[in-house]
């Protein structure tokens, strides 16, 4: 019984719109970003590669153990020695075992190990720097959706208020029709306008449903969530600083440039590794042998004998002097490719910042123009409404004034949202991850 009473209440609570400030939306989107999670996995991979590269500094340790059972179809070679009798030079030792323990340490390899570690470290640093790109991309995506939904919700409120005003006027006209003062066709014109506005509401609701789903998907919330965007959250326009300041900030903060700079350093280090392929390597080490028979004991004996040795080894792949040329050339071209990519990315970033700066300027100017247009439309509507009430005007003039007022209200609300979105994109293009009301 109690569960039956609580179930409807739970359903009502679940369907209530969820308040979602922009700051929270950005936080959830960054936390939910699949690309950022993939980048984190890539960071772990590159850290593992760094550890692998550092293992090249450690000595190599190897143990080998072999057992042989040889055939007995070889006649031993016996040599008589005066005073010693006959000596068997190759006694048949049918069960043989050879065991070796070796330690080898590379002393010098042309910088291959040291530069290989540096290559892995640059790759790890570049992958970490690229994480900011995914944070900004996730924030930019959810911010665009948030402001789109804000504009749709604000438009819905304005249209509903406008419908209410028209319905009030329609009731007034109905009374006048009953008195024989107004024509029925005048009321039909208002009815038509109300129907058109309701049709616009249907289009808005479709847009709201789509953007609510996308917002829920971006933030990791249930896809059926309905959002309540507080119109008071929209800040006023901010004063822009000089364009050059934003350009310089972008060149310093954009993670793409930081990552590409590290990639170029990685390419330079790879070039050194490639050149080291034409150089010799020097190593030293030691062996411990425990064999049966031990070849150092003559004649061979059917017994285990332990011996040891130390060595220094110089290895030089002479063929690498000509086979390594293509690899060196490839590494050189990689450096040139990275340098060109950095220059291209720098130009693209500067162009993006400049475009966003000009867009924000334009949107601020549009707000001023739309505020003037709204003031004019409001005054015109007030005059036409009073004239209609005084029966000195036709509903057509009133509806025209109402349409102009509605459009001015929608344009101003849209201009403010577009201006704030443009400001966000400007700050984002400089490499910042600002809050909804952050100062520029």
232/274 same-domain check:
yes
Domain that holds residue 285: 60-72+87-108+281-315
Same domain? 98 vs 240: no
> Residues of the chain whose pLDDT is less than 50?
1-13, 436-440
- Do the domain assignments include residue 94? yes
Q: Is there a single domain that holds both residue 122 and residue 139? A: yes
pTM here?
A: 0.78
pLDDT at 154 (0 to 100):
87
Per-residue CA distances from 310 to 56, 105, 118, 292, 324 (Å): 21, 12, 31, 21, 32
Statement to judge: residues 67 and 215 lie in one domain: no
Task: Give the CATH number, domain containing residue 352.
Answer: 1.20.1600.10
Same domain, 104 and 238: no
pLDDT at 138: 93
Q: How many domains does the chain have?
A: 2
Same-domain pairing of 176 and 231: yes
At a CB cut-off of 8 Å and minimum separation 6, what does 107 contact?
282, 283, 284
What CATH number should be reported for the domain holding residue 97?
2.20.200
Whole-angstrom Cα distance, residue 91 to residue 77?
A: 8
| Residue 336 Rama label (left phi>0; alpha psi -120 to 50; beta) | alpha
Please give the Cα distance from 377 to 412 (Å, whole number): 12
What span, in angstroms and rounded, lies between the C-alpha atoms of 234 and 84? Answer: 110
* Residues shown for the chain: 440
Q: Beta strand pairing status for 281-291 and 60-69?
A: unpaired
Does residue 300 lie within any of the structural domains?
yes
82 lies in some domain: no
Contact 417, 147 (CB under 8 A): yes
Residue 311 backbone dihedrals phi, psi, to 5 degrees = -150, 160
Same-domain pairing of 122 and 174:
yes
CB atoms < 10 A from the CB of 125, how many?
20
Could you identify the residue written with the tokens 């700051």? 23
């Amino acid at each position: 019984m109690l569960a039956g009473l609580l179930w409807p209440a739970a359903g009502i609570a679940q369907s209530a719109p969820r308040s979602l400030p922009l700051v929270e939306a950005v936080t959830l989107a960054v936390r939910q970003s699949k690309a950022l999670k993939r980048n984190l996995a890539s960071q772990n991979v590159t850290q593992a590669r760094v550890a692998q590269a550092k293992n090249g500094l450690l000595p190599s340790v190897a143990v080998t153990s072999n057992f042989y059972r040889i055939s007995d179809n070889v006649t031993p070679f016996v040599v008589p020695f005066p005073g010693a009798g006959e000596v068997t030079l190759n006694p048949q030792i049918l069960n043989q075992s050879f065991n070796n323990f070796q330690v080898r340490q590379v002393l010098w390899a042309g910088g291959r190990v040291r530069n290989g570690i540096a290559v892995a470290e640059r790759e790890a640093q570049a992958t970490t720097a690229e994480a900011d790109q995914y944070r900004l991309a996730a924030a930019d995506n959810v911010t665009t959706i948030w402001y789109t939904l804000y504009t749709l919700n604000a438009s819905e409120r304005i249209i509903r208020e406008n419908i209410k005003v028209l319905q009030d006027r329609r009731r007034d006209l109905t009374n006048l029709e009953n008195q024989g003062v107004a024509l029925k066709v005048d009321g039909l014109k208002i009815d038509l306008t109300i129907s058109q506005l309701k049709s616009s509401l249907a289009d808005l609701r479709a847009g709201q449903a789509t953007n609510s789903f996308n917002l829920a998907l971006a933030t990791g919330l249930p896809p059926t969530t309905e959002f309540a965007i507080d119109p008071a959250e929209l800040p006023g326009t901010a004063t822009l600083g000089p364009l050059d300041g934003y350009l310089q900030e972008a060149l310093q903060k954009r993670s793409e440039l930081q990552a590409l700079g590290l990639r170029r350093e990685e390419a330079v280090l790879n070039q050194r590794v490639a050149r080291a392929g034409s150089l010799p390597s020097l190593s030293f080490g030691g062996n411990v042998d425990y064999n049966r028979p031990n070849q150092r004991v003559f004649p061979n004996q059917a017994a285990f004998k332990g011996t040891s040795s130390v060595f220094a080894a110089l290895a030089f792949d002479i063929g690498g002097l000509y086979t390594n040329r293509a690899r060196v050339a490839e590494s050189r071209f990689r450096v040139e490719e990275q340098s060109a990519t950095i220059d291209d990315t720098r130009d693209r970033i500067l162009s993006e910042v400049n475009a966003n700066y000009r867009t924000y300027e334009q949107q601020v100017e549009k707000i001023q123009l739309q505020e003037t247009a709204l003031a004019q439309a409001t005054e015109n509507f007030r005059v036409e409404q009073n004239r209609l009430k005084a029966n000195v005007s036709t509903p057509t003039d009133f509806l025209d004034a109402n349409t102009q007022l509605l459009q001015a209200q929608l344009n101003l609300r849209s201009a403010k949202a577009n201006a704030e979105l443009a400001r966000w994109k400007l700050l984002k293009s400089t490499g910042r991850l600002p809050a909804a009301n952050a100062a520029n």
